[in-house]
Amino acid sequence: MEKYAIRGGNPLVGEVEIGGAKNAALAILAAAVMTDETVLIENMPDVRDTNILLQAMESIGTIVERVDRHTVKINGSQIHNLVISDGYVKKIRASYYLIGALLGKYKRAEVALPGGCDIGSRPIDQHIKGWKALGANVKIEHGLIITQADSLKGSHIYMDVVSVGATINVMMAAVMAEGQTIIENAAKEPHVVDVANFLNSMGANIKGAGTDVIRIKGTERLHGTEYVIIPDQIEAGTFMFSAAITKGDVTVKNVIPKHLESISAKLVEIGCEIEESDDAVRVVASKPLTHTKVKTLPYPGFPTDMQPQIAATLALAGGASMVTESIFENRFKYVDELTKMGADIKVEGNTAFISGVKKFTGANVSSPDLRAGAALVIAGLAAEGFTVVDDIKYIERGYEDFHLKLQGLGAVIERVEDDRELQKFKFKVG
Ligand code: EPZ
């Protein structure tokens, strides 16, 4: 089983190129099948989740041509099957974006119900509410979500909770519905805006993405396009916090600083210096870190996907900090792992009470989920001695070449396949 082997203690210094946004790419890849013409997508992250989604799309007849690691041509004209098998959905819940896309284009789709995952139950009631409001019949049978509509008609939909997935999935179904759809209480994340811009480049008529009211005028058909996915806000934030936690000096390149504002603001609060330019942000952590309070919120608030990373950093900051998780109900599973490294954190309900400690010592830890795994890696980079992070398949779902990019910043980290390689690493780095 692959693991990351780390010898901590080096401040991270240098520049790192940020890749395309995973959570925009997953929806954009699914939406690309809504036309029978060819779509060219660039700056796609080469990660497990996007690769599995492309396989799911090929399984129903989508023509997928991989131009290079980050560029793919998609053509949905030969789709012959509208049932996505549960094998794919089990591996990646975002396969459910194919429902919105196929329902919008073919007026029917069947996809296995995505299970919960490590961070919470993750219902899809708001997705279903939106599709039903557009006139679709939606039923759940034998673990499948079965959707069908004679026709889809625009509707005025009020989301009960701010949901990225539901906003995107309903938006996709609505772009080819008859008439106008209004989605109230919509999610405003950068990747929601990116999906709307992508659909508009295919001939859709979406206004207001990025605000909490999205207005869509349905169109008969969509055409091919060429599109470049936005940079990944969370990959960038993870590297920004890797600078803070290791007292380093890291510049994240190919980013949109505006998308990182809440992350930069917290880094300044805990004592880092931030320098912004058009497409880069530099984080310098030369002073001892201090405590703060943070609560995760929908964009533009502090992202839930950055919660484990800031908590790990605050565990090494002076004083008492509080991290409140308001989006998911079970996103503190990494705390027990950080405790093995010497962290002093008490979780009560949806708040972690953190008492900063002087240092972490390396330990063997396991990644409970994608972002928690990334947090354990950056904690290991700051720890004294060796840390081994296993279950890194979670991390590789969303971070492309994570250990290689960290090596480029001076981290002593390798991806090892077995204990023999681990011993070799320990012997080599001493
Ligand atoms: C997306 O998940 C992201 N995943 C998540 O990133 C991210 O944490 C989340 O948005 C919040 O930003 C992808 O984009 C593939 P939600 P999603 O619907 O869409 C509740 C990562 O690490 N809810 O915005 O599933 C839900 O339970 C992943 O990259 C309902 O109640 O999140 C949660 O409490 C992890 N009913 C809240 O809304 C619904 O129908 C926000 O969830 C849908 C959601």
Q: What is the 3-state secondary structure (H, E, C) of 180-205?
A: EEEEECCCCCHHHHHHHHHHHHCCCE
Decide whether any atom of ligand 1 lies within 6 Å of the 136 Cβ. Answer: no
Res 120: pLDDT: 81
Residue linked to tokens 């992070």: 389
Res 93: pLDDT: 86
DSSP 408: T
Q: Closest residue (by CA) to atom 44 of ligand 1?
A: 163
Res 92: pLDDT: 86
Res 116: pLDDT: 55
DSSP 230: P
133-161: pLDDT as tens digits: 999 999 999 889 999 999 999 999 999 99
Buried b (16+ CB within 10 A) or exposed e, 203-238: bbebebbbeeebbbbbbeebebbebebbbbbbbbbb
Res 115: pLDDT: 63
Residue linked to tokens 């070799």: 424
- Give the amino acid at 44: M
Going from the Cα of 165 to the center of ligand 1, the distance in angstroms, rounded, reads: 6
Residue among 22, 23, 229 to mutate when testing ligand 1 (max atoms within 8 A of CB): 23
CA angle 333, 414, 366 (to 5 degrees): 15
Going from the Cα of 124 to the center of ligand 1, the distance in angstroms, rounded, reads: 9
- Give the amino acid at 194: D
User: How many CB atoms within 10 Å of residue 287?
Assistant: 11
The DSSP bridge partners found for residue 216 are 181, 206
Decide whether any atom of ligand 1 lies within 6 Å of the 340 Cβ. Answer: no
For the chain, state the CA radius of gyration: 22
Decide whether any atom of ligand 1 lies within 6 Å of the 373 Cβ. Answer: no
> Rounded mean pLDDT of 222-245?
98
Say whether 30 sits in a helix, a strand or coil: helix
66-120: pLDDT as tens digits: 999 999 999 999 999 999 887 888 888 899 999 999 999 999 999 988 865 678 8
Is the separation of the CB atoms in 177 and 218 below 8 Å? yes
Give the CA count within 13 Å in the CB-facing half-sphere of 130.
33
Res 398: pLDDT: 95
Say whether 46 sits in a helix, a strand or coil: coil
Query: Closest Cα to residue 378, out of 331, 337, 346, 426?
Result: 337
Is the separation of the CB atoms in 58 and 87 below 8 Å? no
Decide whether any atom of ligand 1 lies within 6 Å of the 125 Cβ. Answer: yes
CA 140 to chain centre: 27
Decide whether any atom of ligand 1 lies within 6 Å of the 304 Cβ. Answer: yes
Say whether 212 sits in a helix, a strand or coil: coil
191-232: pLDDT as tens digits: 999 999 999 999 999 999 999 999 999 999 999 999 999 999
Q: Closest residue (by CA) to atom 3 of ligand 1?
A: 23
Q: Closest residue (by CA) to atom 35 of ligand 1?
A: 305
Residues acting as catalytic residues: 117
DSSP 11: P
- pLDDT confidence of 421, banded at 50, 70, 90? very high
The two tokens of residue 251 are 């510049």
CA 243 to chain centre: 20
pLDDT at 387 over 90: yes
- Give the amino acid at 110: E
Decide whether any atom of ligand 1 lies within 6 Å of the 20 Cβ. Answer: no
303 preceded by a cis bond (ω within 30 of 0)? no
161-194: pLDDT as tens digits: 999 999 999 999 999 999 999 999 999 999 999 9
Share of the chain above pLDDT 70, in %: 99
Res 113: pLDDT: 83
- Report d(CA 404, CA 107) in Å as an integer: 44
DSSP 155-171: -EEE-SS--HHHHHHHH
- Phi first, then psi: give them for residue 133, nearest 5 degrees: -60, -30
Secondary structure element (H or E) that encloses residue 269, with its range: helix 261-269
The two tokens of residue 84 are 């996505």
- pLDDT confidence of 121, banded at 50, 70, 90? confident
275-330: pLDDT as tens digits: 999 999 999 999 999 999 999 999 999 999 999 999 999 999 999 999 999 999 99
